[in-house]
Amino acid sequence: MSIRTVGMITGYQSVTQSDWLWQQTPNPFGIWGNIQMLAKEPQPDFLLMYQFDFKRRVSAKQSWLSRFQNKQVETVNVEPDLRGVPKGRVIYLMREPPLEEVVKSNQKNYKAAQNYCGYISGPDDFAPVPDYMPAIWYHSNSFRDLNEMPPPVKVSSCSWITSGINRTANHRKRLDFLQNLRSNEIDFDLYGRNLPATSNSSGELKNKWYGMAPYYYNLAIENYADNDWYVSEKLWDSLLAWCLPIYYGGPAADRLLPEGSFLRLPSLDEKGIAYIQEVTSTPDAWYAAKPAIAEARQIILHKLNLLNWLSEFVEKFD
CB distance 219 to 187 below 8 Å = no
What's the pLDDT band for 58 if we cut at 50, 70, 90? very low
Q: Is the model's pLDDT at 285 over the cut of 70?
A: yes
Give the span between the Cα atoms of 118 and 89, in whole angstroms.
6
Which is it for the CA torsion 249, 252, 254, 256, positive or negative? negative
Q: Is the model's pLDDT at 13 over the cut of 50?
A: yes
Q: Is the model's pLDDT at 216 over the cut of 90?
A: yes
Q: How far is CA 57 from the centre of its chain?
A: 23
Burial 120-134 (b: 16+ CB within 10 A, else e): bbbbbeebeeebbbb
pLDDT at residue 75, as a whole number = 60
pLDDT at residue 77, as a whole number = 79
What's the pLDDT band for 66 if we cut at 50, 70, 90? low
pLDDT at residue 73, as a whole number = 53
pLDDT at residue 69, as a whole number = 54
pLDDT at residue 128, as a whole number = 98
pLDDT at residue 89, as a whole number = 98
pLDDT at residue 55, as a whole number = 80
- The stretch 49-55 carries a mean pLDDT of 92
CB distance 300 to 253 below 8 Å = no
- Dihedral angle computed from the Cα positions of residues 232, 236, 238 and 243, in that order, rounded to the nearest 10 degrees: 140
Q: Is the model's pLDDT at 239 over the cut of 80?
A: yes
Q: Is the model's pLDDT at 316 over the cut of 70?
A: yes
H helix and E strand count, the chain: 10, 14
Amino acid identity of residue 73, one-letter, is V
With a CB cutoff of 8 Å and minimum separation 6, the contacts of 124 are: 94, 97, 98, 103, 106, 130, 227, 229, 230
Q: What is the CA radius of gyration of the chain?
A: 20
Percent of the chain at pLDDT exceeding 90: 89
CB distance 85 to 78 below 8 Å = no
| Helix spans in the chain (H) | 64-69, 79-82, 103-113, 143-148, 169-183, 233-240, 252-256, 270-279, 284-299, 306-315
- The stretch 53-71 carries a mean pLDDT of 58
Give the span between the Cα atoms of 235 and 197, in whole angstroms.
26
What's the pLDDT band for 67 if we cut at 50, 70, 90? low
The pLDDT tens digits of the residues spanning 137-190 come to 999 999 999 999 999 999 999 999 999 988 899 999 999 999 999 999 999 999
Give the span between the Cα atoms of 117 and 168, in whole angstroms.
30
What's the pLDDT band for 318 if we cut at 50, 70, 90? confident
- The stretch 218-228 carries a mean pLDDT of 96
Q: Is the model's pLDDT at 71 over the cut of 80?
A: no
Beta-strand runs (E) in 195-237: 215-221
CB distance 51 to 96 below 8 Å = yes
Please name each of the domains of the chain with its CATH number.
Answer: 4-131 (no CATH), 143-302 (3.40.50.11660)
The pLDDT tens digits of the residues spanning 244-281 come to 999 999 999 999 999 999 999 999 999 999 999 999 99
CB distance 93 to 25 below 8 Å = no
Amino acid identity of residue 230, one-letter, is Y
What's the pLDDT band for 59 if we cut at 50, 70, 90? very low
Q: What rounded mean pLDDT belongs to the chain?
A: 93
* pTM of structure: 0.93
| Residue 24: half-sphere exposure toward Cβ, Cα within 13 Å | 29
**Of 258, 300, 306, which is closest to residue 134 (Cα–Cα)?**
306
pLDDT at residue 74, as a whole number = 59
